[in-house]
Amino acid sequence: MKKFVVLSLMILVLLGSVKLVRAEENLLGNANSGLLMEASSGKIIYEKNKDEQVAVASMTKMVGLIIIMEKLESGELTLDEIVTASKNASGMGGSQIYLDTGEKMSVKDLIKGITMASANDATVAMAERIAGTESKFVELMNAKVKELGLKNTHFVNSTGLDEDDHYSSANDMAIIARELLKHEQILDFTSVYEDYLRVDTPNKFWLVNTNKLVHLYEGADGLKTGFTDNAGYCMAVTAKRNGMRLIAIVLGEPKGSIRNEETSELLDYGFNTYKVLTLKSKDDVIDTIKFNKSTKDEVDLYLQRDASVLIKQSDNTSGYDTEIRLDAVKLPLKSGDSVGKLLIKKDDEVIDQIDLIVKEDVNSKNFWQIWLDVIEDTLIT
């Protein structure tokens, strides 16, 4: 009887393994290329032709959105700022929110148009606001691509409309999506399924998100869709469940419905097979450095991202540890500067390392500040 039970269990395990392998083999059966990434670590869970250079349609706009988010965070832009649409912007074809030449619209509403309706006219209006012309904005986009170290991406326009020498890859798109997600405010836009523009006017305009999965897939809250004749149906979707965020890139699907279905299957595979073990949060104070003769006596250290490891659902969670290694720190320091690493170890082997950063500026005191300190100490004593 015991032998029969053991044999039965072995058969079930084997059948489960075969089913899992078959499921992985059947993923993205109709797509030209694609990739599934765990967002916090950047680890790739699944890939298909990940470095193939292909047209990516409006997924191009994710790079423009990174630049827009950076400008908002630096204060160079505000959501309430009013942008005037040029003749060039209003004349864009393809997906649009039908801007008129000279029409004024807030940055917030233009971002809604880009993220929800994939609007080319809104994209060009923002490009011209930031860089003066669309071509100058594309230069910024390609500079951002270079900064991210991408080897299979080059842009000719800001919208993703088909043009020669305009391409990216599944791997590069995943890295771009991950970079965009570092600007958490973007999810305030991409997670919305329906909204309105020109609300208090006779031309009230209904927006419905082109990414149907934010409405249909549990945990989905972004990120960008695309379609052109050359690109086919494309999608970058991010979803979060049980503390794990995944990024799915699907390129070159024959139909929108197939794209949505295969993207959902890809995400299902990731959530069903893997989980994230978080060892330390990026919001935790990891350590504190003390300084002499500086504008701050001490400064807290934080992680650039969560200290987490991607493991299979069946994996043992024990045996992981962390170690702090600080650099020889020299002042001045600016918010965001790295001062060391947190090492993640598994059975004493380093498997990952994460920058330790400061979240405030720290400067050396000048002569007069030091002199005042001396006088103060003298008076106190």
Per annotation, catalytic residue among 58, 86, 95, 294: 58
pLDDT digits (tens, 9 = 90+) for 83-115: 999 999 999 999 999 999 999 999 999 999 999
Clarify whether residues 41 and 152 are in a common domain. yes
CA distance 345 to 336: 24
pLDDT digits (tens, 9 = 90+) for 188-202: 999 999 999 999 999
* CATH assignment at residue 135: 3.40.710.10
pLDDT score at 366:
57
Clarify whether residues 114 and 201 are in a common domain. yes
Does 281 qualify as catalytic in the annotation? no
Per annotation, catalytic residue among 48, 61, 144, 224: 61
Tell whether 11 is covered by a domain: no
CA distance 272 to 313: 8
pLDDT digits (tens, 9 = 90+) for 305-341: 999 999 999 999 999 999 999 998 888 989 999 999 9
Clarify whether residues 70 and 193 are in a common domain. yes
Per annotation, catalytic residue among 95, 118, 264, 294: 118
Tell whether 15 is covered by a domain: no
pLDDT score at 375:
62
Clarify whether residues 87 and 135 are in a common domain. yes
Written as one letter, the residue type at 332 is P
Tell whether 186 is covered by a domain: yes
Tell whether 5 is covered by a domain: no
On the question of a cis peptide bond just before residue 254, with omega within 30 degrees of 0, the verdict is: no
Q: Which two tokens stand for residue 295?
A: 């504008």
Q: Which two tokens stand for residue 19?
A: 């089913």
Alpha-carbon radius of gyration of the chain: 25
pLDDT score at 371:
52
pLDDT digits (tens, 9 = 90+) for 359-378: 999 887 655 555 565 566 66
Question: Which neighbouring-strand residues pair with 225?
Answer: 235
Q: Where in 242-371 does DSSP place strands (E)? A: 244-253, 274-280, 287-290, 298-303, 307-312, 320-326, 338-346, 349-358
Clarify whether residues 264 and 286 are in a common domain. no
H helix runs in the chain, sequence order = 2-25, 61-74, 87-90, 107-117, 120-131, 134-147, 170-181, 187-190, 213-216, 256-273, 367-380
- Domain final residue pick, 274, 309, 329: 274
Cβ atoms of residues 234 and 259 within 8 Å = yes
CA distance 381 to 359: 34
Does 182 qualify as catalytic in the annotation? no
Whether the predicted pLDDT of 9 surpasses 80:
no
Clarify whether residues 266 and 288 are in a common domain. no
CA distance 186 to 13: 42
Cβ atoms of residues 167 and 231 within 8 Å = no
Clarify whether residues 269 and 290 are in a common domain. no
pLDDT digits (tens, 9 = 90+) for 253-270: 999 999 999 999 999 999
Does 106 qualify as catalytic in the annotation? no
Range of the domain at 266: 30-274
CA distance 309 to 122: 39
Cβ atoms of residues 13 and 219 within 8 Å = no
Tell whether 118 is covered by a domain: yes
pLDDT score at 18:
41
Q: What is the DSSP string of 5-53?
A: HHHHHHHHHHHHHHHHHHHHHTTTSS-SEEEEEETTT--EEEEESTT--
Q: For the chain, how many structural domains are there in total?
A: 2
Clarify whether residues 151 and 246 are in a common domain. yes
